[in-house]
Every structure is written in C-alpha cells, then in structure tokens.
Structure 1
C-alpha cells in the first residue's frame, strides 16, 4: 500500500530537512526542480514552449527554478509572476532574481509581471503550462486575482502540469471551488491525501512523486492513516484455496436480493458470488420470481419464500430463511429488495436477531438501516453505500460529505465498529480502527445500474472464502475496478454493462495472479 500524508506531516518533513538536517530551503527547491524537469521532459518529449505562472511563495520559487532548468534544456519559457520581488518569500525571491538575470542575456526565457488577465495571452501559444501559484498549504476558496487566473488557464488548449498540488485544491480534503485542471501533477516530498479523492481525483490527472533530497528516514516514525491500494495488495488478499476443499468449505453465501419489481439485482449479486470463487451461492427470492431467475442463470441454488402472490420480503419470511441465514458464512442483503414497509421490517428483524456470521449490507437494506442505526450492532458487517445512501445514514448532505469525506467515513466506521465501503470515484474503504483505503482502479464505465450489485456479490464471495472482512472488501473493490479497466481493451467505457462486468471477474483475478506468480 502507498501511504498518503496530511499537510501537517509534509510541513513537518520540510522542517525536519531544514532544522534537523540543516538543508536550506533553497537546496530543497533546487532538488525538486531538477526532478520536476526530468519528469516533464520524459512525459512530454516533443514540447518546445512552456508557460509558467508563479506565485509569491515557495511554490512560485519552485516554478522559477523549473523555468531556469527548462530554459537550460533549450525550451522557450515564458514566466508570469504575481506581485513583485518584495512580496515574495526569501527562496522564491532568490530564484526569481536568478531567472531575471538570465533573461537579460538569454532569448528563450522571458518574465512578465501579472497586470491583468491580458497578461495571460503570452501563454496561449505554449505547448505546456505549469501551475506554480499556490502549494499544498492552501485551504478555503481562491481569492482574486488567482481565481480568475486559474479559470482562464483552464480554458487554454495546452498540456497542464501542476507543481505539488493544483492551485485551489485542499491537499487534505480533496476539495476546492475553482481548481487548476491538471493533466499531470508532480507532487513534492510525498503523496498527499487530497490528490486522490473527490475534486483531487477529478483535477490532478496523472500523479508522480518528486523527491526533494531528504530520503525516507524521516518517514520511519510517521504513521499515516490513509493508504492507496496497489496491485500487490489485491494479490495478497486473494483467498488461499487449499487443494482439498469442497463446495461448502470454499465459501457459503446466502443472497437476499431482488423482488418482483427488481429481479435483475438478485442475479447480479448472487452470480458475482460464484464468479468470485465461492463454492455455494444460494439465492432467496419470492416464489413469483423463481422462473425468471432460472431462465437467466442455472448455476445458482434458489430458495423461495412466500407464495405465488408474494413480491417482496416480509418479516414472516424470516422463519423460512432462518436456517440458511445461520448456515451461510456470509449473507448478502439489500440489492433490489425494495423499500416496502414490510421489507424494512424484515431488515430490522434480521439485524436485531443477528443470527448471521457476517453480512454485506447494501442498497435497500441501507435505506432500512437508517431507522435503527443507533441501535444496530454492525460488527462483522460490511456496508457498501454510495454517497446518496451514506448521506441518508449520516444526515449529512452529499455536498457537506465531499468537503471532508475522509473524516466523515472514518468517524462512521469507528463509531459503529464496522467496515464502510463508500462507493464513488474513487471508492474509499474505512476500517473500524480508523484507517482509510483509497482504491486506484476503475473508470466511469462503472456508472451504470447494477454495478454496485456486482460489488456486493464480490465482497460476499471473497469474504465467505477468507473470513476476513477488511481484506475481502479491499480485494473486491480493487478487482471490481480492475475488471472494468480490463474490459476497455475490447470496448469503451460507454459499453460496459453490469452483466458482462460480472462475467469478467475471473479474468481480472487471473490477471492479478499471472502478474505475481511465476510460471
């Protein structure tokens, strides 16, 4: 897993380098600039002209140093700087003065003091534009003239690169009002949380780390609570299958999904259980739905409840299902069961009696859960809401959640002693002991009906095999996204549908296994 750090932890790194190691800030700036230029020239070898907008702080100083090195490499560089040299930080001023002196004798480096939006016209013919206005310490909303500058820069047709953090983005929360829209973000020192979530996920583009010459020693005693999931994590979390297993020891899942109105959810969830490797997948549906299910998938064991007139779960059905609830290693509950009053009562009864070993709770079951959340025992449960469902559970608007989703998710998971899988772009998993895990796979082809049902089935299927709730959640989320990514080899994100996503799960498992296992 890749650790992700907070602003305060990164600031402490700078202080450690300057105060403990006696490395002047100007040296750190120079180290960073050299790596930044190497990355830019490697990523975009065909560029010939670069525009850079520099602020008055150390992020601006990085920009001036980068401008010098790009000029040294023979590129045409135009730099727009805000304010004047007297308002700049010391290290920023030093690099500004060096650039200013070079520009007096070199034609390919020009500096322009910002005097209004018309100044930005000097950048319109640039192949690449670098944002060096504000660094990772920014929070709140952009003020003028920076807000207008960023808005105009986003309109220019050029490759966009941000140094450290795109201007306008909160590096802790991933939030911001107006944000520089980067194709590449070269972040300094270490990866920051906010680059990978909400607006950061949308605006940072490709993210590459630039060392500043301090080394890794400092981080030996720094313990972050947020991580980015890697392929290695998925491989390590794959269930270990013994040679002498049978269909029952390979994982037993009872799926309580679907209704007369939403039968497809039942197929996607219970089918994904099987495609994830579980040995026994039993689907419980109303009698009226059974024929439809068998026409669509024959590998399932179907248990019915109610009678020919039954269309959804009711509390009376619990007795019929009780033995299977106890039998299953995991119960997947919620997709497509509907929100009828009697169905809500069934969910309440299910959670109150708690005769299950583990459960994955999703969709309509989450709607029912909100009424008894304060009393429900959610230990040994995986909850998989999207933002709208999580908003209902917490009584916090989606807009407010996105302002600090890491804190909101962490607080919920710790308070309720549960695993929370918050579905979104990206999906974030929160553990009951206060850790957050940001997924690194997936694409917008997953924004389809049924995609979440597949994830519920995968979570239940993997958990039934390993009995590890957190590991299974991380694996399911990663492979869910990877499956969609691999499907792009044959179709675009427009053509990804949930029924095919389910059938491609084995291919993504095979991809991970082949990536790490020797022939």
Structure 2
C-alpha cells in the first residue's frame, strides 16, 4: 500500500521547521523533478510551452522554464502576474537567463500545466474555463505539476479541467488525484522528492492506495484437503435468479469449496451449483441482494436479521430499510458493496443523510470515511472508476478498475468473489481488498474489445490471474 494525503501543506511546513529546508529549495527540487522527466522522455530542441499562474504552482513552472532553457525551445506564458515574493524572484531569474515570455497561447511539443495546482477553488469563472478548453485543444504532450488545473482539493471541477498525459506530484500523492473525474485527466503519475525521502516526508495512517502486491490470491498449497476446507457460500436468490447465479459461479471460480443457491422456488441453474430452500447449516457466509427483489427480501428477512454468519450485502437489499435493522442489530461481520445510487439509500437509511448521486460521487472519500467511523466493524466498498474501501475510519483506494467493468452483472460477480474469500477465512478487510484487486486485474487482462467484456468473461479471466 502507498500512503496518500488529504493535503501536503503541513508536510511542507515540517520540512521548513524540522529539516531547515527553505521554500526556495523545495521549489527548485519540484522544478528539477519535472525537468528530469522531460529530459528523459524528449530529445533536446523540442518546443516547451510552460503555462504558469500567479501562485507557487506557477512559480514551480517558472523554475522548469529556467532549468530547461538553452537545451529546449522554451516559451513561458503567464495567466496572471506572480503574486508572492518568491514567485517574483523566480520570474526575475527566468528572464535573466533569457526565457522568452509569450502573451498568447501557443502549441508546442510539450505543454507544462503550472496554472493553479492543488489550491484551486471552485467554482471557476467562465474566463478560466475558456482557458482550460483552449489548452485542451493544443496538441502537445501535457504535463501537470502536482495536479491538472481545474481540479480542486477533492478532485472535482466546474465542468472543465486540463486533460494531461502525465502528472508530476510533489512530495506525496493527494486524495484529489483519485476522484472519478480525475481518472481521465491525470494520465500517468509519478512522485518527486522535495529534498527528503518519502518515508521522512510523511506517513499517512488514514488514506492508502492499493498496489499489485496487496492482492492475495486463494492459492491451494496444501495437498491433504477437501472441499469443506474452502468454505460453503450460501447465496440468496430472488426475483432475478441470473444475478445470484453469476455470483455463485464467480464464488466457485474464486476458490470456494461449496456453493448453494438458496431460493424459495426451484431454479434452473448450472448443475455444479447446489440448491436449497434454507441456508445450509455448514455455510460460512451469506451473500445477498443481487436480484433479490422486495419479495425475496421479505422472505429472507428473519435469516438476515438472526444469522450470526458474515453477510455480504449488495444491490436490492441496500435500497431497503432492512439495512438499518441489520446495521444496528448486528453491525459486525458485514461487507456492503453499493454503487453511488445504492449508497444514497444507505446514507439516508443508516445515517439520516439526504444527498444526491452527483454529490456522493463528488464526496466519495468523505462519505465512506463517515460511514466507516459510525460502523467501524463493517467494511464498505463503494464502486466507481476508482473503488473506495472503508473500515474504521481508514480508506483504501483501488485505482486499477477499467471501463470494461461498466456492464450489468460485474457487481454480481464481485459479490460472489467476496463471499468466496470470506468462506476461505480471509478477514473482512483483506477479503474486500483482494476481491477488488482481482476483479480489477481480471478486467484489465481481457484481450478482446472493451465493449465485448461480459460477466461470464470476467469469471473466466479469474483463472488467468
């Protein structure tokens, strides 16, 4: 896992106070990080247009212009005059070496976005939005310093932001880089040190991004075992049995030893899945909600409220008021997997928060954190372009999901995978992390066209992880 932060201003202040590094030194190091990236990727002589604003992010850009001048054809565009004393000094230095200032946007081989940075405030005015639109029409390779201009501290915009190919982050990654909107704007990301190592710079205890090494697949290494050693997953089936069938097939393909579809009526399902009217006594986990419907929820209400087994709750059940009873009667051993619309219902029912889907998307980390602090022993998995996992006030972000997963049934598959790992004795948090990563990597590994990816193909890809 990698530490990320809500903001890094206080971390920068720590460098000044504890390690005697000046703001000028940090600015030079920031500029050097961007300049080194350009030197490695582009040959000398290429045209570089640096777009700088009036603040310290703009000053970082001015440093880059000065450092690259002479080896590259550097042009400096200022959206506003430098405000701080240090920014004005950087401008004085750049002009002294001969950097050419321009007064209209020009295209180049490389465009460096140093207009606003992480301190950008919404809403943006029309003039600023127009500038972003004009920049996006430029053909050059776009590099953002710290964050693409137009995104605020939560990674949201006023409808326009600079779309970059690469983002060079100063010191440490920030949460703003991992909003759904930011995913299509940041390009590739790298972090540059500001004068001390990442370990010294800061150690977050609350926010993390997941890495490939966090995936723990349920490999079978012990030979003397039987199906019971890998757990029995009970999946409640309702009005739309296709959803629960997908979950059961996913569970089976992700290592569970036994799978039973629990239904009030007999279903025509694949022969490898067992059926029962009641939850089998040797079940290790109950997975519920996928296609369950109101009748199914009512039918299984007593089971859901009285069972001591871990529950994986998805889809229909998250819209029902029973979720409040479950959370308050048995808040432990729960994993909830809502998409934003379902999370709207959960927040209203469980926490009395009335909110729109669009606001949930804009405030994903904040709201998952609040839920996980109220229900610290449950795990919440909020679906999206970047998946947000919360438990006990800590946030884990899976950035590996792809657009292939934007198809009905993908969530049903995930619910079954989660059930499989719970049955195989993973902790609730480890279950959710590994199921999320496996789900993401399976979607990435698909070799066909993105539009042709289906839930069954997703299940098949699990065997290739």
TM-score, length-scaled by structure 2:
0.92
Deviation at 1:156, TM superposition (A): 2.1
Provide the aligned C-alpha RMSD in A: 2.1
Task: Give the 5 Å matches for 1:65-80.
Answer: 65-72=63-70, 74-80=71-77
Equivalence for 1:502? 459
Counterpart-to-counterpart distance in 2, 1:392 and 1:217? 40
Query: Are 1:227 and 2:182 matched, yes or no?
Result: no
Equivalence for 1:316? none
Counterpart-to-counterpart distance in 2, 1:128 and 1:407? 35
Equivalence for 2:291? 336
Does the CA contact (< 8 Å) of 1:443 and 1:484 recur in 2?
yes
Residues 186-240 of structure 1 deviation map (CA, whole Å, 9 limit, x = unaligned) = 11011111101222223211111111112245346x43311111111113x7467
* Structure 2 residues not aligned, in runs of 5+: 349-354
* Structure 1 residues not aligned, in runs of 5+: 104-108, 114-118, 306-320, 509-519
How many residues align? The count is: 456
Counterpart-to-counterpart distance in 1, 2:25 and 2:361? 37
Counterpart-to-counterpart distance in 2, 1:27 and 1:160? 25
Of residues 419, 425, 428, the one that matches 2:388 is 428
Does the CA contact (< 8 Å) of 2:218 and 2:254 recur in 1?
no
Task: Give the 5 Å matches for 1:353-502.
Answer: 353=306, 355-368=307-320, 369-370=322-323, 372=325, 375-395=328-348, 396-416=355-375, 417-431=377-391, 433-487=392-446, 490-502=447-459
Counterpart-to-counterpart distance in 2, 1:387 and 1:58? 36
Residue 284 to residue 128, structure 1, CA distance change in 2 (3 Å): same
Q: Classify the secondary structure of the residue corresponding to 1:331.
A: strand
Does the CA contact (< 8 Å) of 1:252 and 1:330 recur in 2?
yes
Structure 1 runs, 4 residues or longer, greater than 6 Å off:
none
Deviation at 1:4, TM superposition (A): 0.5
Does the CA contact (< 8 Å) of 2:16 and 2:23 recur in 1?
yes
Equivalence for 1:246? 226
Deviation at 1:45, TM superposition (A): 5.0
Equivalence for 1:15? 13
Counterpart-to-counterpart distance in 2, 1:16 and 1:240? 47
Task: Give the 5 Å matches for 1:20-419.
Answer: 20-45=18-43, 48-72=46-70, 74-84=71-81, 87-103=82-98, 109-113=99-103, 119-120=104-105, 123-124=106-107, 126-143=108-125, 145-171=127-153, 173-177=154-158, 178-216=160-198, 218-219=200-201, 222-235=203-216, 238=218, 242-259=222-239, 262-290=240-268, 293=269, 297-303=270-276, 305=277, 321-322=278-279, 324=280, 326-338=281-293, 340=294, 342-353=295-306, 355-368=307-320, 369-370=322-323, 372=325, 375-395=328-348, 396-416=355-375, 417-419=377-379
TM-score, length-scaled by structure 1:
0.83
